[in-house]
Structure 1
């Protein structure tokens, strides 16, 4: 296994998720209760599958961003709880659908729903959760928040289709890949962070700052995941390491290694990603080529760049425990490679 930490370690300080856990704890208890209630159904298979994924150990980072951003903007009402639950349902539905598309067998150390109940049930329960998410959005009564989250849902789907069309195509550029993860991952982070100030009645500059914060955090988060797939652990990733490679999924470390490689190396990448020659021996060679060309480090440096953009955006908020928690989340996401 390749370590992605030591060559790029820049600081001995580590981010922590504890500050945002502390700031959001009372409201997240209500979010979690609402999630369990809204996952209920007379169709027994729906809560069974939903609770399997809900209980599988995710940190609930996205809904915490909604709660923390609302608190940071001085909000004291109830709407942020329903919006945070909506965000988590959107994310959970995406995971169910992603595991079907990617044919994944492990999610956060547990069997994926598709391996237990099958692809059809996983897709349909994901659709149910999306419906429940939009029901809660409507109940909040904010057309602006509804527009933000519904737009994010469409953008995420576009990103999934875009990624599917670019899969195993070695001509995919770095710019194209960043556009894919901007849609597929960063869009929900951005929406989750923006709807907090929306319900707080904050002015557009504050909304824009939190939207930028979420987007940059999401890009950093995904790029770190890309690097961890070739040098992290299943606990860090929430899936098996090397899964991206085995699935022939193009990520930034691969794209950069292909671009930097000679003809023989490019032939290897084409055989692995386009031709399906991606067994364990090929994975070892892939990581060796990434070490040779420094593409894991380059990917993490790009993550650090977006992390800094997220910090700058959050720093524009008034000083408060919630603002400090949002800043600490940035370091936590990036320091997963340490």
Structure 2
């Protein structure tokens, strides 16, 4: 999303108006803030006297990424007085996110992440798990400097992240009837993806002294945009190439994770849907040839378009919430972001 962290990219991709001086000023401030976040991430993860740990712990940070969560924290801070603590808030949420990536790659046995070899492939699963734990410890140290609100937010959000991962592992068809498949998947997305994005907006606003209504609205916006973002990611896992993704396409199929576009495709009629039920019904799809067949069937199904329609629905609600915020350049950015997160999946 924001690789390169330059003002032109921020304005072009996120809906700020280049004709408005205040928008351009805000974009420049965001660029500066995101640059500081990158520097601070490296600094926080450095382990003096242990270069091997520093190298491994900064591996995914150096690989880059969308930096959506730091962006949300800095946007939230723009509704307050923009104090320096906003950089720490942005660093905190990104560290929690990076820690989950180390753990996720172990669970998924992922060979790539952000276009580079995954930590588990380089150093093995045991070290990758420990790296995730180390990054979480660094995040806690940053959170401690921001006070009780940040620590509570971090604890509550991490609990939701773990719950989402657990529910995803359990699967919609093994949940003892507590949730229908669609409800189950929305809950997974809300916990595993949206919760941290919501925390980012709230925490950025809170540390910058924004009012309670704005903090709450940013949290609600983050929940909605996070679900839209994850649906878009699920679609991309089906429709995009491995090169575009920066990781292996069809990861969800390989791991036996049933996503929203898959659920819609499985509900279709006809031979394609029947074959998909036959393939996906057996759980993980490790065979590359069968996985490619399933990807082809999914791409030809109506499931992708139905999922994208739902993503647009969540994004539209997020946009309405953004428009209820005070009239600042950050509001325009959040409105533009609501379109960007779903357009990337099309």
Say yes or no: TM over 0.5.
yes
Which residue number in structure 2 is paired with residue 283 of structure 1?
Answer: 291
Equivalent residue for 1:313, pick from 295, 317, 321: 321
Return the alpha-carbon distance in structure 1 between the equivalents of residues 235 and 275 of structure 2.
Answer: 22
> SS of the residue aligned with 1:16?
helix
Cα drift, residue 201 of structure 1: 2.5
8 Å contact from structure 1 (residues 220, 303) kept in 2 = yes
> Counterpart in 1 of 2:65?
58
**Cα separation, 2, equivalents of 1:284 and 1:311:** 36
Residues 76 and 330 of structure 2 are in contact (CA less than 8 Å); yes or no, is this contact kept in structure 1?
Answer: yes
2:215 equivalent to 1:207: yes
Question: 2:161 pairs with 152, 156, 162, which one?
Answer: 156
Q: Which residue, 75, 78, 86 being the options, matches 1:68?
A: 75
Query: 1: distance between equivalents of 2:255 and 2:338?
Result: 29
1:29 to 18, 26, 35: 35
CA contact (8 A) 1:15 1:332 kept: no
> Does 2:266 align with 1:269?
no
1:10 is matched with: none
Residue 106 (1) aligns with residue 112 (2): yes
Contact 1:190 1:210 in 2 (8 A): yes
Q: Give me the whole-angstrom Cα distance separating, in 1, the residues matched to 2:253 and 2:109.
A: 13
Structure 2 residue aligned with 1:196: 204
The equivalent residue for 2:6 is none
| Match 2:251 to one of 230, 243, 252 | 243
| Higher RCO by CA contacts (8 Å cutoff, separation 6 or greater) | 1
Question: Counterparts in 2 of 1:213-228, with a 5 A limit?
Answer: 213-228=221-236
2:321 is the counterpart of 1:324: no
TM-score (ref. length: structure 2): 0.86
After TM superposition, give the deviation of residue 52 of structure 1 in Å: 1.5
Contact 1:90 1:133 in 2 (8 A): yes
Shift of 1:272: 3.5
CA distance in 2, matches of 1:230, 1:264: 15
Residue pair 2:15, 2:332 contacting (<8 A) in 1 also? no
CA contact (8 A) 2:76 2:202 kept: yes
Residues 156-200 of structure 1 show CA distances to partners (whole Å, capped at 9, x for unaligned) of 011111111117859961111110111011100110111122123
Of the three residues 123, 129, 146, the one matched with 1:123 is 129
Task: Please give the alpha-carbon distance, in whole angstroms, between the structure 2 residues aligned to 1:319 and 1:241.
Answer: 40
5+ unaligned residues in a row in structure 2: which ranges?
A: 1-10, 17-25
Tell me how far apart the structure 1 counterparts of residues 330 and 290 of structure 2 sit (CA, whole Å): 45
Secondary structure at the aligned position of 1:149 is classed as: helix
Residue deviations 1:65-120 (CA, integer Å, cap 9, x gap): 1011101x132321111111011100000000000001100112111010001111
Matched, 1:16 2:13: yes
Instruction: Give the whole-Å Cα distance in 2 for the aligned partners of 1:234 and 1:17.
Output: 25
TM-score normalised by the chain length of structure 1: 0.87
- 1:15–1:214 CA distance, 2 compared to 1 (3 A): farther
Which residue matches 2:7?
A: none
Aligned length: 323
How far apart are the structure 1 equivalents of 2:12 and 2:128? Answer: 34
> What residue in structure 2 maps to residue 45 of structure 1?
52
Rate the CA distance shift 1:275–1:317 in 2: closer, same or farther, 3 A: closer
Say whether the 8 Å CA contact 1:52–1:113 is kept in structure 2.
Answer: yes
